[in-house]
Structure formats: structure tokens, C-alpha cells
Copies of this chain bind each other. A is one copy, B any other.
Amino acid sequence: MDQVISSLKASQSQALDELFEFLRIPSVSADSQFKPAMQQCADFVLKAMQAAGLTAEIITTKGHPIVYGERIEDASLPTVLIYGHYDVQPPDPLDLWTTPPFEPQIRDGKVFARGATDDKGQVFTHLKSLQACIDVNGKLPVNVKFLIEGEEEVGSDNLDKFLEQSKDRLKADIAVISDTSQYGDGIPAITYGLRGIVAAEVRLTGPSKDLHSGVYGGSIANPANAIAALCGSLVDATGRVQIPGFYDDVAELTEAEKQQFEALPFSESEFLNEIGSGAVFGEDGYSTLERRWTRPTCDINGIVSGYTGEGPKTIVPSKASAKITCRMVPNQNPEKILDSLETFLRDQCPAGLKFEFLRFHGCEGFVLDPTSPWISAASEAVEAAFGKSPVFIREGGSIPVVSSFQQILGIDTLLLGWGRNTDNLHSPDEHFHVEDFHNGTLASAYLWEKLGAVKAS
């Protein structure tokens, strides 16, 4: 192992050069004018996998191609499924970039480029660590299956189909994704839980056109009043969701988890300052981190009805609609929550209004037992590379692929993020600390060793 680490340290400059080449390809999946660049980027990834020593191929989809590589050393070793994406967010607005988004540059110890941290830089740490292990030892301490898609930033529309079709081929013991962040500067983290999500839209239709509120007001149901009443009933004044049965399946935090979160450095005033808000608000009895990471929510994401211009307009609107998402925690069932939400709202709809309920694709919450051997292995790897043991955190957002791995392949995921929250993901001047890139590569190398020991132990 020492030799692998030495080799990686000796080739850091070259690794950066290669990363720059990766970053120069404008692989914007959302914009069809970049379609040739997407193909070029998939080819780059293919060659990088092959150079690392994997057997690799490009898999075409209805959208952008998936690149898949693997190296099976020994059926008795654990098999790790590594996931990443080579597509990036659109770089707009361009004028807010200090240097062009596809001309990577190092300033202040950071690589500036679109995709530097999300997710090319992080993906590249695994490619380089695998290559070093194979170069030095001629083999890996684990079997690896490496899946890099090109549609993460546009919803991964074709990924689940590939997973379904390739269940046997993708069989693995654990998945690894590096597309999250450390907890803070100098605080590496393992994200062991995510919230899931369900999304819906409610549409109410009343009279066939907007009516004069003087002539008709008071005699027919007003869709704007009704959408407000329906949506306003979802969460009470203490922040508690009112959908019947909503909390039935919620797994409460263990005392150990609560203490762990309490021990994390967190400044409420900095948090409020960052988002420009005057006060926190949420369910009684939970800290802000607990509310964000471990409690289910029901948020109105949008609502509209009637006249929204300047001044007053005396109408009873014809239509009203609202977008609703619930963040779910592990153990809550998306279909059950949506069914209960729909019934709860439908039952409150006044006479004379047409009620429609649209469901959008969602995913379940996720939590990995923090005492699992995979977590211990990952923790040791991170500590060996970053010089300190990682903290165990959750995230409030959802990573649908984690849910897909669970649902379709039946495996858990280790979320090992080498980046930082402040890396300007999805914004101008996205960057990745050079130090994080190198440490992440070392952590990745240690990870294969530690994971390889899990089944053997």
C-alpha cells in the first residue's frame, strides 16, 4: 500500500494535467449544441478507464451514453460499484466567471472550471487511485464495477432502465459515490443518510372564466381561497405536518446520532446570515440540523391563482394550482404518503370545484447503519488520507441514484464527498481545492484496501 501511496504522490502533477484535459471538454448535458462534446467526453472516460486497467465500453442510451468499466479480480473479494457522472451543469451566466468555465486554471490552491468538483474532479480521484493500485500491484484488493453516466444534471432519465437491464452484471456488495461534500473546511465527512422526496401538483378549477368578485363573490367556491385552505392545512403553526399517518413510519434518531449531530460545529447565526433569513422555524423538539437532515417536511414549492400584477383586481379566479413536495426520511413509503396527501386534500375541496392531483417521480429516503463494517472501512480510509477521522452526517436532499441502487440492485451506498459546500456547485467560478483532489485520490486508494478487507474479516 505504501508503494501505491508513494506512486500517487509522485504523479500528482500529471494527475492534475489529465484532470484539466477532462475539464476542457464542455460536456453540458442540458444543451443539445454540446452533443458532440458529450460523445467526446464519454470517449475520454472510456480511455481513462482502459488506461487504469479496466475492461470498459460505451453503452448507448436514448440520451447521452453511459461509460461502464469493470475489473473482477476474484469472486471471493467484495465487489464495489462506483458511480459518477461526466456531464456538467450549463456554465451560464458566463460573465460571472473570473476565467472561462472550460479553461481550467489554478488560483489560490483551487482548480477553477465547470465540473471541477461536480463531478469530474471527484470521479477522477477514483480513476487515478485504481490505476495506481493496478500499476503497482498488478491487481486490486476488490472487484470494481465503474458506472459513469452523462445525464445526472438532467434527471438521469435513462439510468434506471440500464440498471434494470443489467442487474446481474452490476451485482455488487456496496456502492461508492463521491458527489457530496465534506462537512466544512478541514472536516471530512461520510454522509450516511439522505431524505427521499415525493412531488405532486394540485389543480382546482372553478368557473369557466374569472368572474367579477362583486357580482358573484360569496355565492360560489373561489379556487384561490380553496387552494390556500388546502395548502395552508398541510403544516400547522408549530411546523408539524398534518397529513394523516404522515409520521407513522418515521424512524426516530438514536441517542447516539443526536449526540453526534450536537457535537458538530454549527452556528445558527451564520446559517441564517447565509440564507438571508431572520429566524429558524420548524418542528418542536428538534435542532436545525436534525430538521434539515432527519425530519420529513411538506413544502409548497409554488402556488398561483388569479391576478398577480400591480394593484388590486376584483375577480374570483377561475383556476388555482400548487406544487407540493414532501421530503421523506427512511422507512416512509412514497406511495403511501402521496395517497394520504391526495385524500387529505381532496376531502377538503369545496363543492363546485374540480380537483386534480398530479404525481411526479420521487424516491425513498436512505440511511446506512453507521455501525456497518463498510462505514468503518470508509472511515479508516478517509482518516488515513485526510489526517483526521471523518464526521458522520446526513443530508436533507435526495440523490435518486442511491434510491435506485437500493431498489433495483439491493445495495447500500457509501457517500464519500471530497468537495466542499462552498465550491460553487452549479454556480459561476465552480472550483475544487487541489488539496481535496489529492487527498481524495489517496482516500480512494485506501478505500479499496479497507473495503477489500471487509468480507475477509
Chain B residues near A195 (CB, 8 Å)? Answer: 214
Which stretch, A111-119, A199-207, A375-383, touches the partner chain B?
A199-207
Residues A220 and B323 in contact in the complex (CB < 8 Å), given A208-B275, A231-B232, A302-B317: no
User: How many chain copies does the complex carry?
Assistant: 2
Give A295-318 as 1s and 0s: 1 = Cβ < 8 Å from B's Cβ atoms.
Answer: 111111111111111011111110
Give the shortest distance, in Å, between A150 (CB) and chain B (any CB): 21
Complex: how many Å from CA A121 to CA B30?
61
C-alpha spacing A211/B301, complex, angstroms? 10
Q: Which of B208, B215, B295, B303 contacts A396 (CB 8 A)?
A: B215
Does the CB pair A214–B398 fall under 8 Å? yes
Question: Within the complex, what minimum Cβ distance (angstroms) separates A359 from chain B?
Answer: 10
Report A218-250 CB contacts with B as 1/0, cut-off 8 Å.
111110110111111111010100000000000
Segment with Cβ contacts to B, from A4-12, A82-90, A345-353? A345-353
- Stretch of A124-132, A159-167, A276-284, A384-392 contacting B (4+ beta carbons < 8 Å): A276-284
Contact of A214 among B214, B323, B348, B397 (CB under 8 A): B397
Pick from B207, B275, B299: contact of A275, CB under 8 Å: B207
Q: Please, which residue of chain B has its CB at the minimum distance from the CB of A199? A: B312
CA distance A195 to B212 in the complex (A): 13
Least CB distance from A2 to B in Å reads 39
Assess A301 versus B282: contact at CB under 8 Å? Given A207-B277, A218-B327.
Answer: no
Q: Chain A contact residues (Cβ within 8 angstroms of B): what range?
A: 35 or more
On chain B, the residues within 8 Å of A301 by CB distance are 213, 224, 306-307, 312-317
Q: Are A234 and B225 in contact (CB under 8 A)?
A: yes
The one of B299, B312, B352 in contact with A201, judged by C-beta atoms closer than 8 angstroms, is: B312
Residues of the B chain whose Cβ atoms lie less than 8 Å from the Cβ of A283: 218
- A43 contacts the other chain (Cβ, under 8 Å)? no
Measured CA separation A205–B348 after assembly (Å): 28
One of B212, B214, B307 near A302 (C-beta < 8 A): B307
CA separation between A212 and B425, bound complex, in Å? Answer: 13
Give the chain B neighbours of A235 by CB distance below 8 A.
222, 225, 229
Proximity string of chain A (268-280) to chain B, C-beta cutoff 8 Å, 1 when within and 0 when not: 0000000111111
Decide: A292 and B216 in contact? CB cutoff 8 A: yes
Minimum CB–CB distance from A432 to chain B (whole Å) comes to 20
Chain B hits for A277, CB < 8 A:
206-208, 220-221, 352
- State A207–B303 Cα separation when bound (angstroms): 17
A158 interfacial contact with B, CB 8 Å: no
Given A211-B275, A278-B352, A301-B307, residue A295 in contact with residue B218 (CB < 8 A): yes
Contact partner, A354, options B278, B322, B396, Cβ 8 Å? B278
Report the minimum CB–CB distance from A205 to chain B (whole Å).
9
Contact A292 B348 (CB under 8 A): no
B316 touches A299 (CB 8 A): yes
Can you list the 8 inter-chain pairs with the closest CB atoms, starting with the nearest? A208-B276, A232-B232, A214-B397, A279-B352, A228-B231, A224-B300, A302-B306, A229-B232
Do B350 and A217 have beta carbons less than 8 Å apart? no
**In the complex, what distance in Å separates the CA atom of A278 from the CA atom of B204?**
12
* Residue on B nearest A350 in the bound complex, by CB: B281
A79 at the interface (CB under 8 A from B): no
* Contact partner, A276, options B207, B297, B307, B308, Cβ 8 Å: B207
Given A206-B277, A224-B300; 16 other pairs, CB 8 A cutoff: A208-B277, A213-B301, A213-B327, A217-B297, A218-B327, A219-B288, A222-B235, A222-B300, A225-B232, A225-B300, A228-B300, A278-B354, A280-B351, A300-B305, A301-B315, A308-B323
22 A-B residue pairs with Cβ-Cβ distance under 8 Å, sorted by A, are: A207-B275, A214-B395, A214-B397, A216-B275, A216-B396, A217-B299, A218-B282, A218-B283, A218-B295, A219-B281, A227-B228, A229-B231, A229-B233, A229-B235, A237-B348, A278-B351, A279-B351, A300-B305, A300-B317, A301-B307, A302-B306, A311-B360
